[in-house]
Structure 1
Amino acid sequence: MQFVAIPRRLPRTAVQSNNLISGGQEITTVVYGSKKVAKGGDFGSFVCFLLGQRHLEGGGYFDQSDLDSITVDQALRKAISYKIWTATLGYLNIVTKLYSIEARRMWGERDLKVKHKDGLAVYNHTLSTTLVEYASAVYMSDLTELFSWTCQRCDDLTKGFEVIELVVDVQHCLQGFVGVAKDLNAIVIAFRGTQERSIQNWVEDLYWKQLDLNYPGMPDAMVHHGFYFAYHNTTIRPCVVNAVKRAKQLYGDIDIMVTGHSMGGAMAAFCGLDLTVNHEAGNVKVVTFGQPRIGNAAFVSYYSKLVPDTIRVTNEHDIVAHLPPFYSHFAQKTYHHFPREVWIYHVGFGSLIYTVEKVCDGSGEDPDCSRSVVGNSISDHLEYYGVRLGALGSDACRIVMDSRLAAYSTQDQAGNLILSRNPSSSVVNMKSEPSAPVNSL
């Protein structure tokens, strides 16, 4: 089932045939010519018009003289009365915020999903907009607020989340947490990405990262050692794996959702693969934001089969999502993205601007998605779904905590910090205070 944004006017194109699906049944085939459909009408009139059509032979033109005054609201209400859930219009395989906002307002809270026939991930807009808030919160440096889930980014769609384990690898400036989201009935794992003050240098370095490590147990699969080691060769991995085991002992075999932004997205992918292959987790979902490429085509082939429930969200001209570079003629020798990409971009129709979420094909390198534009924007990298990603101000690679965490914290010889609680215990009641922290690293 595919949601799609429908413009006010059809593109000037050759005759095409398109299907509208209701409840899994085809109800109409619309054939249109090159003539613009909505003479003076709006998005609403076009939607309503399409929903009311039957088969038109040979590219006949639409007569919509009685539809010009129909509003978006009226059109969507008619769509509801027809129980229309699917529309496919050629290349417009997209979901718009306009549609989802209007639909949610009239239908109430309901997951907006896009299903596919290739066995890969189902895009769930509602879930993605929730997980991006976890990917944002993991950047917070005040561990007291983060561990108790009272930070300024620990609200809205993630309210009520319980952190089980929070780990900070000080030497490598890495941070992640594991917890339970009872509203999702899932274990959520989030990894922090590259800190903002160093992102320009990191981006420049991404251009030259080489495929220099054979992924264990996967013939011909190559990855970059830096991406691999960030998860596998730091204090992050053992802490995450142990926390997941503890959560499963209490809550049973619930879903595991792994997320992260930027470098955190790369770590999330390796974590999802690790949990699936080495820890027999069969219910892992990975959703990343602004993630760089991490391996070659052979690695992508293995990954897609082992962790098919993966969504990789890219935003407009996000520069990091285009790096390290992809060369289609040397797929096995260069980096390759894994599917499924969802590309967020904006289109304008007259005075209206629509936010589009395009669900891409199963190749991982759909030429009609983010690859169709130049990746040159750091600002597009730092905001997804309207959520700020990255550290606040000068908080990069800085840890702040106070004495209330002493009972939950351990520190190794390298200074790496682990905050842990038994998942069966209640959330610690700690309100943030303006007083100076006891420990700042």
Structure 2
Amino acid sequence: MGRLLRLVVLILISLSVGSGGREIKLKHEVNSHSYNHTLAKILVEYASAVYISDLTELFTWTCSRCNDLTKGFEMIELVVDVQSCLQAFVGVAHDLNSIIIAFRGTQEHSIRNWIEDLFWKQLDLNYPGMPDAMVHHGFYFAYHNTTLRPVILSAVQNARELYGNIDVIITGHSMGGALASFCALDLSVNYGMQEVQLMTFGQPRVGNAAFVSYFIKHVPRTVRVTNENDIVPHLPPYYTYFPRKTYHHFPIEVWLHDTGEGNQTYVVENICDGSGEDPACSRSVRGNSISDHLKYYGIELGSDSSGSCKIVMDNNIGQYHTDLGGSIILSRDPTTSSFLKSKLSTDALSSSV
């Protein structure tokens, strides 16, 4: 049954890549300044680090992925929604003079099932306040109706009170990229933050063309990085023959792919057109690789543990308890250098800011 389903999946991808229908072209200025290679190499390390299951190492920024280009990062808030298996953090990168928000993607142990399930997802939620805009209910819910949103908004407010109105950069890989998108729009529309920047890796589509048009008006500093034959950016499928009813990607895409022959190969970074669905970029390939989804710029993106939503924590960092409805929130007062505290949030699932 699994093989048959994968065969159907590949057929659907072939249909979605087809060029026989009329496509919607979104207007979005493309220039070489939209994409910064150095920044991408930094942000992919944050997108990788947020997968770490050892909360002590992640919170104190001593994990194996918490070095190199992200050294000196100052963690402010780390949140784990245990019930929904979601994880994110907020902190300050002093070298970038920016607040960094990173969202974890789908756990590697379940990624095959998640990918197969995503093929059948339909646009199933009207985006509030925007006529004709529709989004993926699961992605929307995961950001707006879990512990993540109130904790993140509070941490951003605290950081800005201390450091001033510095830029906010949001990142995530896979499903984490989808959550990062809703966070970027939330901060821009609902909290008036004008300098929000979004860069995601291997992100799926999250809404239709009407939603994308609305999104890029409010978060113009948006870049999606896709890698070779990564399967996830092809999901949910884009159906050329139903352009107004199908999912549609955000511009601007940067497609990483190898070129050359034999030993003379090198990686090309194609800055694609402003449509979000450039047929000369990742849509020019089938997009059937999971392995291409799990590594960007040579950085591993995925869980560091084989366990399902496994969490490890040193009790010395503070006392905490959890249950089926609880969430773990680790907070640091940015005005002090050694203050660490952990607290249980059992009512945050129903909280809003």
Tell me the amino acid that sits aligned with residue 172 of structure 1.
S
Residue 338 of structure 1: which of 250, 253, 266 is its match?
Answer: 250
Distance 1:395 1:342 in 2: 32
Q: Which residue of 1 aligns with 2:179?
A: 267
Q: Which residue of 2 aligns with 1:355?
A: 267
Query: 1:235–1:185: structure 2 CA closer, same or farther, 3 Å change rule?
Result: same
8 Å contact kept, 2:53–2:305: no
Matches within 5 A, 1:232-243: 232-243=144-155
Distance 1:262 1:183 in 2: 26
1:368 Cα deviation (Å)? 0.3
1:427 Cα deviation (Å)? 5.5
Tell me the amino acid that sits aligned with residue 285 of structure 2.
V
Distance 2:32 2:126 in 1: 25
1:118 Cα deviation (Å)? 4.6
Distance 1:300 1:219 in 2: 12
Distance 1:345 1:373 in 2: 10
Structure 2's unaligned 5+ residue stretches are: 1-27, 341-353
CA deviations on 1:44-101 (whole Å, 9 max, x unpaired) are: xxxxxxxxxxxxxxxxxxxxxxxxxxxxxxxxxxxxxxxxxxxxxxxxxxxxxxxxxx
1:422 Cα deviation (Å)? 1.3
Query: 1:368–1:119: structure 2 CA closer, same or farther, 3 Å change rule?
Result: closer
Distance 1:188 1:356 in 2: 27
Query: 1:217–1:349: structure 2 CA closer, same or farther, 3 Å change rule?
Result: same
Please state whether the residue corresponding to 2:129 is helix, strand or coil: coil
Matches within 5 A, 1:48-197: 117-118=29-30, 122-197=34-109
Query: 1:382–1:216: structure 2 CA closer, same or farther, 3 Å change rule?
Result: same
Structure 1 length normalisation: TM-score?
Answer: 0.69
1:425 Cα deviation (Å)? 1.7
8 Å contact kept, 1:410–1:419: no
Distance 1:192 1:297 in 2: 25
1:351 Cα deviation (Å)? 3.5
Q: Which residue of 2 aligns with 1:90?
A: none
Distance 1:392 1:326 in 2: 32
1:120 Cα deviation (Å)? 10
Which structure: larger Rg? 1
Query: 1:142–1:380: structure 2 CA closer, same or farther, 3 Å change rule?
Result: same
8 Å contact kept, 1:410–1:418: no
8 Å contact kept, 1:148–1:428: no
Q: Which has the higher contact order (CA 8 A, sep 6+)?
A: 2
Query: Sequence identity, in percent?
Result: 67
Distance 2:334 2:129 in 1: 33
Deviates more, 1:203-212 or 1:347-356: 347-356
8 Å contact kept, 2:201–2:225: yes
Query: 1:214–1:119: structure 2 CA closer, same or farther, 3 Å change rule?
Result: farther
Matches within 5 A, 1:6-25: none
1:121 Cα deviation (Å)? 6.8
Deviates more, 1:392-401 or 1:318-327: 392-401
Query: 1:224–1:117: structure 2 CA closer, same or farther, 3 Å change rule?
Result: closer
Tell me the amino acid that sits aligned with residue 415 of structure 1.
G
Residue 371 of structure 1: which of 283, 291, 309 is its match?
Answer: 283
Q: Which residue of 2 aligns with 1:47?
A: none
Please state whether the residue corresponding to 1:237 is helix, strand or coil: helix
Q: Which residue of 2 aligns with 1:417?
A: 328
Distance 2:294 2:263 in 1: 26
Residue 297 of structure 1: which of 209, 229, 234 is its match?
Answer: 209
Query: 1:146–1:427: structure 2 CA closer, same or farther, 3 Å change rule?
Result: farther
Q: Which residue of 1 aligns with 2:8?
A: none
Q: Which residue of 2 aligns with 1:213?
A: 125
8 Å contact kept, 2:118–2:235: yes
List 4+ stretches of structure 1 deviating above 6 A: none
Residue 231 of structure 1: which of 117, 132, 143 is its match?
Answer: 143
- Calculate the aligned-residue CA RMSD, in Å: 1.8
CA deviations on 1:202-252 (whole Å, 9 max, x unpaired) are: 000000011010011111000011010010000000000000000000000
Query: 1:216–1:120: structure 2 CA closer, same or farther, 3 Å change rule?
Result: farther
Tell me the amino acid that sits aligned with residue 204 of structure 1.
E
Deviates more, 1:394-403 or 1:306-315: 394-403
Tell me the amino acid that sits aligned with residue 271 of structure 1.
C
Residue 241 of structure 2: which of 329, 338, 344 is its match?
Answer: 329
Distance 1:286 1:222 in 2: 20
1:371 Cα deviation (Å)? 0.3
1:412 Cα deviation (Å)? 7.9
Q: Which residue of 2 aligns with 1:72?
A: none
1:403 Cα deviation (Å)? 1.8
Please state whether the residue corresponding to 2:92 is helix, strand or coil: strand
Q: Which residue of 2 aligns with 1:381?
A: 293
Q: How many residues align?
A: 313
Residue 278 of structure 1: which of 185, 190, 199 is its match?
Answer: 190
1:323 Cα deviation (Å)? 0.4
1:306 Cα deviation (Å)? 0.8
Structure 2 length normalisation: TM-score?
Answer: 0.85
Tell me the amino acid that sits aligned with residue 417 of structure 1.
I
